Structure 1
Amino acid sequence: MKAIYVFTLFSVLLNCMHVLKADEPSSPKKGSDRMPSFSWDRVPLYVHIRKDTAFTEEEIKHLASFPLITFEKATGHRDSGSVEAGTLKAARAVKAVNPAAKILYYRNVIVHYGGYAADQSLEDIPEAFLVGRDGNDKLIRNRIQAYDLTNKALRNWWIDAAKEVCSDPSIDGIFLDGVVKVLEPAFLKNVIEEKKKAAELAGYLTMMEDTRTMLGPQKLMIANVLRARFPDSSLSSMQALDGSYIEGFEGAVGMSKKDYVAKGMAAFQKAAQQGAIIAFTCGLGSNQQDADETPRSAARNSNNVKRVRDAESRFDYQLAMFLICAEQYSYFDLKDSYDAKASKTWMKHPSEYDRPLGAPNGPAVRDGYKYTRQFAHASVRLDIETQTGNIVWKQQAQE
């Protein structure tokens, strides 16, 4: 009976996320001056990157060509002494080249990654981290601490640390990671008490509302939140946000991969059609980044669909998937690593990005697991059952 009560409480807390109404003073405004620049002329692009040392002048010029940028954790901390200083150095350099670029500061809502100057004051907060039933406080991959969001002092520290960077004119908002961990009922369920897990979610909701208030009406608030794994794909979690980053799009949980991808695409389409910013990030590999939140049995499931291994085919498939779903303020990023020093795709610019695209003639047409969509200068076909995509560029056809 106790377990049923706790699960019900957790579900109620999830459903209560709609209380952050779009017309409340702390809610985001959709003014064009605060949104990233957008055009259908070419494939709209996003970049999400980290480098533990300073970016070169050439890299800064490359970054400045993107309308929307997230500087990941660890950015610049080796050269600048902290992630905060490294991020601000990179952001200011980009703004000097392209003042219109929108730059987001990375913070994880639950995972305690090091390298931040703010960590020093965290040492003064008692019980800042979650502790398992066995006394272990390294709950993330058995080596990293997790924030105890039931602790008001911890939440205030987190918000103050974010404010310190986000108040700088070179930073246009915050990128929130780790949200899926907090929302997923199975995550840490067997490690901490069930009531504690529900309380952790409640603390997160409070922290997000307070973060929205702290940022004010002009700064962006984008979270890694949309996932088909949830009953409503976390669309109800978007109320206080300007948009969602998307990763782990193919990490099927509880259903076949094709159904999981179809559900995720539907959520992408709905959120984008409602005006949300969508930062669609894909990997050239299997792209199943939800390992922390996924029960091992689900992670091992296979639907016997042949994986697309060829990098070029994978690129075509992912880009076609994006174009099927994209609306105004949707941006595409395909990479093999978030680390600029490890990535082979960093600083690369596929020829497809330079081909004229043009506005879509309308929404995509779906027939089972096949989708088609027409743009002014391109025709897109996608089959998520065979994991294939095809884009016919009119300019290319005429060449």
Structure 2
Amino acid sequence: MKIHSPLSFNVWAVVLVAFSAAADRMPQFSWDTVPRYMHVRKATAFTPEEIRYLSTFPLITFEKTTGNKTYGSTEAGTEKAAREVKSLNPDARILYYRNIIVHYSSYHADEKLAKIPDAFLADSRGNTRLVRGKVPAYDLSNSKVQQWWLDNAGWVCSSKYIDGLFVDGNIKVLEKGYLRREVGAEKKDAVIGAYHKMMKQLPQVLGADELIVANVIRARFDNAGLEYVDYFDGSYIEGFEHAVGRVSRPDYVAKGIDAIQQAARSGKLIAFTIGTGKYADTDMDDRSDAAADHKPAAFQDRLTYSLALFLVCAEKYSYFMLSDGYGVDGNQSKLWMNPPPEYNRPLGPPKGPAVRDGYVYKRSFESADVTLDIENETATIRWHDRT
């Protein structure tokens, strides 16, 4: 009989507690139908009907500008929307959006930021509007900026209606070439170093009960972002199809699929979003014509292909969103509150992992069979309930 020392029992107890805490903060999950994610912003208050719709999602990120016109700031608007959703679905997990590098206004925290000297990165001419030539970028090497950002995240996430933080802009920080020419190699390296320092601090700032999801898995990195994902409970997915560097589009997509599969199988949350038509890497590509050489697919074909991409990657805590834009003020989105019927079809758990043959993937679920061809950008989903 193997004898365990008291220390080994203590260590195992710590592991069990940590695992339990991680599971407790995760969203609800079911294979009954396609598990879904919502990522949304609306500058004015959501209507009661919209709140009822939002309350059907297990995981929601309220984007920048949420409620700021009605309640005065994104912080106040996010908490108000979260409070209303929670009144209908206390189990919904709601994330507060913050970009780690790009300065988007409409936050109450902007008042304190304005008092920090040299808060933004600047080029040799003193220009601070470096992101797309329009928007400032935070100088994360400034310790006061670091503390300001962390304080705001901690303050908002301390609300009982907010379950965690969505960290955007990671790719801009971690891509070594981004803004390096504008700010210089030394400053860029300092920003990267500060980012890692902040991400290590973030769980302590927010507390053990808070989710942290980041936009970080991307095939453009050597290890597709898996080298950074351990800072977080999971990753949001975008910029999935627009190849970067000297690699073909199918190989780029295959690398992304492999990274998502690895992360999902390790227990990471996956918030898989994909657009109805554009292929551009929205986190990095500033050209409006980035997808001009691609002809948009018919909506049904695009839906089937996008959903198949998700299904060959999905594991427990993977959630899907096909998006035609996150803003829902007015009639910006045709998919808002108008989900396709596929989302209601019985799915059931997977019978095993996807099987790959070249650029073709196949995977079976209890109530659906999926075939995905990423070279030809085609897919079929055979739903067993189809008459």
Q: Same fold (TM over 0.5)?
A: yes
2:153 aligned to 157, 162, 165, which one?
A: 162
1:195 aligned to 182, 186, 210, which one?
A: 186
Q: Paired residue for 2:267?
A: 275
Q: CA deviation at 1:65?
A: 0.2
Counterpart AA for 1:117: H
1:38 aligned to 21, 29, 32, which one?
A: 29
1:142 aligned to 121, 133, 139, which one?
A: 133
- The answer as to whether partners of 2:102 and 2:138 remain within 8 angstroms in 1 is yes
- The answer as to whether partners of 1:186 and 1:295 remain within 8 angstroms in 2 is no
2:83 aligned to 83, 92, 109, which one?
A: 92
Structure 1 unaligned blocks of 5 or more: 1-22
- The answer as to whether partners of 1:29 and 1:218 remain within 8 angstroms in 2 is no
Q: Paired residue for 2:323?
A: 335
Specify the SS of the correspondent of 1:31. Answer: helix
Identity percentage over the alignment?
52
Specify the SS of the correspondent of 2:231. Answer: coil
1:218 aligns with 2:206: no
| Deviation by residue 1:207-257 (Cα, 9 ceiling, x = unmatched) | 111211111111000000000000000101011200000001011101111
| Deviation by residue 1:32-75 (Cα, 9 ceiling, x = unmatched) | 32110001110000000000000000000000000000000000
Tell me, in whole angstroms, the C-alpha distance in 1 between the residues paired with 2:35 and 2:284: 30
Specify the SS of the correspondent of 1:359. Answer: coil
Q: Paired residue for 2:102?
A: 111
Counterpart AA for 2:315: E
Q: Paired residue for 1:395?
A: 385
Tell me, in whole angstroms, the C-alpha distance in 2 between the residues paired with 1:212 and 1:111: 21
Q: Map 1:217-366; keep pairs closer than 5 Å.
A: 217-254=208-245, 255-290=247-282, 293-294=284-285, 307-341=295-329, 342-366=332-356
Q: CA deviation at 1:199?
A: 0.6
Counterpart AA for 2:238: E
> Using a 3 Å threshold, how does the CA distance of structure 1 residues 287 and 28 change in structure 2: closer, same or farther?
farther
Which aligned segments of 4 or more residues in structure 1 are displaced greater than 6 angstroms? none
Counterpart AA for 2:254: A
> Using a 3 Å threshold, how does the CA distance of structure 1 residues 309 and 284 change in structure 2: closer, same or farther?
same
Specify the SS of the correspondent of 2:180. Answer: coil
Please report the TM-score for the alignment, with normalisation by the length of structure 1. Answer: 0.89
Tell me, in whole angstroms, the C-alpha distance in 1 between the residues paired with 2:83 and 2:286: 41
Shifted more, 125-134 versus 374-383: the winner is 125-134
Q: CA deviation at 1:293?
A: 2.9
| Deviation by residue 1:265-289 (Cα, 9 ceiling, x = unmatched) | 0000000000000000010012313
Paired residues, what number?
368
Tell me, in whole angstroms, the C-alpha distance in 2 between the residues paired with 1:234 and 1:53: 35
- The answer as to whether partners of 2:67 and 2:77 remain within 8 angstroms in 1 is yes
Counterpart AA for 2:38: V
| Deviation by residue 1:339-359 (Cα, 9 ceiling, x = unmatched) | 012111111121111111000
Please report the TM-score for the alignment, with normalisation by the length of structure 2. Answer: 0.92
Q: Map 1:25-64; keep pairs closer than 5 Å.
A: 31-64=22-55
Shifted more, 334-343 versus 47-56: the winner is 334-343
Tell me, in whole angstroms, the C-alpha distance in 2 between the residues paired with 1:28 and 1:117: 35
CA RMSD of aligned residues (A): 1.8
Q: CA deviation at 1:307?
A: 4.1
Specify the SS of the correspondent of 1:33. Answer: helix
Structure 2 unaligned blocks of 5 or more: 1-13
| Deviation by residue 1:305-361 (Cα, 9 ceiling, x = unmatched) | x64521110000000010011000000000101101211111112111111100000
> Using a 3 Å threshold, how does the CA distance of structure 1 residues 73 and 112 change in structure 2: closer, same or farther?
same
Q: Paired residue for 1:17?
A: none
